[in-house]
Structure 1
């Protein structure tokens, strides 16, 4: 569907206005200890006491990653590519991951599931396949969700895969006039539980329904039917 410049401008505005909430949801996803008021205070440039230095550093990186993404979109430099994904992962997983900003060069495992992500030597081909799949999808909400799920399941990086996938999802959303979205803190348990099932089965349908439901809660009145819904189960 054609991009409405006013909707895109509105989406960027909402992302900036709701930056604290987006960062808060990210750090909650990682089990970090900050409250929303503390995140708001931190983003105002005021030091938040009572937390470990490493936690504050990690919080800083979550904020920088969101700011970088929004800047890319504002300057029409966001595109769904390996280079952009690597740039975002390098920021969001700084000091957490081996080889930040690069696809992993070894095997990884996911706790809580018997599913084993693909071997590292096939990751470039996997990502190229994802890019081609996204190009064929017409619905921008569907594109974003598929990107997020694929990046989480294939584990292209040593760490920060879910967050990088969610950032790339939002790059697709905001660039195309959809409002920004992250997994709400109150729904993290449901998200993690459903993701474990998704890792094991690869069935995207349940996760797509989860994202659609949560997005509609955040933005009442939303329906994928409003934006040319084309979802078909693989």
Structure 2
């Protein structure tokens, strides 16, 4: 099986439909993405905060994370042009406004990720020209599905740590911008699968081989509407 076949687009929305689908799921998406920062609010608490009200016992830092993620999702669902590095910078400027050294600016110093057990991954310094070229080449590849492009950009950006902070949040929203532009659903890993997901991400950081985490994400985290499943996916389900 070729890579393109392995990551066939499961859903067939129009971009406008896909954006509406995302907007109808803002609370769930923000609730999930906030977990990157250790936010443990319930779904109703997340909704209350997104509605502009306070919730007793929720730290100000968590409230700001939720509010900024909401703004980030609002931003990516209102952009009609294809994803660019400038757009990724703007996403980061929004979602990491409170915690990045320089929100919206590419990392120009050393950074890294704690993998646990005193293991630390430190990516190379960022070359803006290389990042521009990577994104443009990935999005322009005619042999690759939209879903594959989105997963590739998401995991590349996570491992590269291209920003000072908020890399996973920014990478996830950037990938979902690609998904919406192609009308192929959304990427959203259910919280009950995060333990396994984090294991796979850590392994990818160690090896720089993203295929295992991409395949797992494709199998567990591509979401859409049943009525927008593509014909091949409907046929596959009917044969089970």
Instruction: For 1:140 and 1:19, locate their aligned partners in 2 and report how far apart those are by CA, in whole Å.
Output: 22
TM-superposed deviation, 1:80: 2.0
Matched residue of 2:206: which SS?
A: helix
Instruction: For 2:144 and 2:104, locate their aligned partners in 1 and report how far apart those are by CA, in whole Å.
Output: 29
Alignment match, 1:84 = 87
Whichever structure has more strand as a proportion of its residues is 2
Please give the per-residue CA displacement for 1:200-227, whole angstroms capped at 9, x wherever unaligned: 111111111111111357766968965x
Instruction: For 1:156 and 1:124, locate their aligned partners in 2 and report how far apart those are by CA, in whole Å.
Output: 12
CA contact (8 A) 1:114 1:200 kept: no
Task: Decide which of 101, 105, 120 is 2:104's aligned counterpart.
Answer: 101
CA contact (8 A) 1:215 1:222 kept: no
Runs of 4+ off more than 6 Å = none
Alignment match, 1:110 = 113
Matched residue of 2:19: which SS?
A: helix
TM-superposed deviation, 1:90: 0.4
Is 1:186–2:189 an aligned residue pair?
no
Query: Which blocks of at least 5 consecutive residues in structure 2 are unaligned?
Result: 1-7, 234-240
RMSD: 2.5
Instruction: For 2:207 and 2:231, locate their aligned partners in 1 and report how far apart those are by CA, in whole Å.
Output: 24
CA contact (8 A) 1:212 1:224 kept: no
CA separation of 1:198 and 1:175: change in aligned 2, threshold 3 A = same
TM-score where L is the length of structure 2: 0.82
CA contact (8 A) 1:216 1:222 kept: no
Please give the per-residue CA displacement for 1:102-154, whole angstroms capped at 9, x wherever unaligned: 1011011111144321123x243134223213311530000000010110011
Please give the per-residue CA displacement for 1:168-214, whole angstroms capped at 9, x wherever unaligned: 11001011112223222112211111001001111111111111111
Instruction: For 1:177 and 1:217, locate their aligned partners in 2 and report how far apart those are by CA, in whole Å.
Output: 11
CA contact (8 A) 2:123 2:159 kept: yes
Instruction: For 2:210 and 2:230, locate their aligned partners in 1 and report how far apart those are by CA, in whole Å.
Output: 18
Query: Which blocks of at least 5 consecutive residues in structure 1 are unaligned?
Result: 227-234
Equivalences for residues 97-176 of structure 1 within 5 A: 97-112=100-115, 113-120=119-126, 122-136=127-141, 137-176=143-182
Aligned residues: 219
